[in-house]
Amino acid sequence: MTAHFNSLASLQTVRSPGIQPRILVVEDDSVLADGICAVLRSAGHAVHWSGDGPHAYAQLGTEPYDLLVLDLGIPRMDGLELLRRIRREGMTLPVFVVSARIEIDERIRGLEAGANDYLIKPFDLKEFLARSSALLRGMSRPRQDALKIGPLELDPQTQKVSVDGVPVDLTPREYDILEVLMTHPDSVVSRDAMAQTLSLGHEDLTDNMLAVNVSRLRKKIAAAGDCIRTVRGFGYLLRSNASPRTPGMI
């Protein structure tokens, strides 16, 4: 399957202002798909539709898209498998999961697999459009210089992270958390502020997701030193210089 995405970089383009964003909606319920496509088109987006996993996978490999709207319960290839596959093969476009799977563990699995947002069915189409627009705005942010703190480097353009030049493989959620912390070095970022910035949504999910992802992130960038601290009762902090632990921080 890897060969399918050999030309992936050329398909993931940053569009200039005024160019109509292209969105792929993957949903097997034709009535819901019609509603989603209609509201996206009303906002001025170019929308394509697919009703199953393999067809969507083929479209993603041959057409450039700015956003993927993905139902998890699609036929012939589960949406979660499709999501994992495109992330493994290097596709970085934002993915907005819309699913009837309401359990917290299911939402966590979706975000861990690489989803940028997760909305539970049934949902309000106005909220759906607002959250879709937020994801598209994120793709059109102005160019940023690479962030470098000690041996740790993050390039917002390529979304690559390295420690002493050695690449570090992060999930999209881990990358987002690290970017927020590196943008505010030596400052405590509250859990609420982190949740708002990352659009994690439901409070019950937020604390769990942050704890899980920060723990995994620490392990993956351990070669940079003990740089991410948890400030009890407040949030998280990235130290510009790794140092011994201090009271109140873990």
What does the angle CA 155 – CA 9 – CA 91 come to, to the nearest 5 degrees? 75
Fold of the CATH domain 2-139: Rossmann fold (3.40.50)
Indicate whether this model's pTM tops 0.75: no
Q: What is the pLDDT along the chain (250 residues), one digit of tens a residue?
A: 333 333 333 344 444 344 678 999 999 999 999 999 999 999 999 999 999 999 999 999 888 889 999 999 999 999 999 999 999 888 889 999 999 998 888 888 898 899 989 999 999 999 999 999 888 887 654 556 789 999 999 988 778 899 999 999 998 888 888 988 998 888 888 887 777 666 544 344 457 778 888 999 999 999 998 899 998 888 899 998 864 444 444 4
Q: Which residues of 80-90 are buried (b: 16+ CB within 10 A; e: fewer)?
A: bebbebbbebe
Residue 93 CB-half CA count within 13 A: 28
Give the position of tokens 């690479």.
146
Pair of tokens at residue 106:
């299911």
Residue 64 CB-half CA count within 13 A: 11
Helices (H) and strands (E) in the chain, counts: 9, 12
Q: Do 21 and 111 form a contact (C-beta atoms < 8 A)?
A: no
Question: Coil, strand, or helix at residue 119?
Answer: strand
Q: Any idea where the domains of the chain sit in the sequence? A: 2-139, 147-238
**Correct CATH for 147-238 of 1.10.3210.10, 1.10.10.10, 3.10.105.10, 3.40.50.1970:** 1.10.10.10
Pair of tokens at residue 53:
């996993």
Task: Give pLDDT, residue 145.
Answer: 74
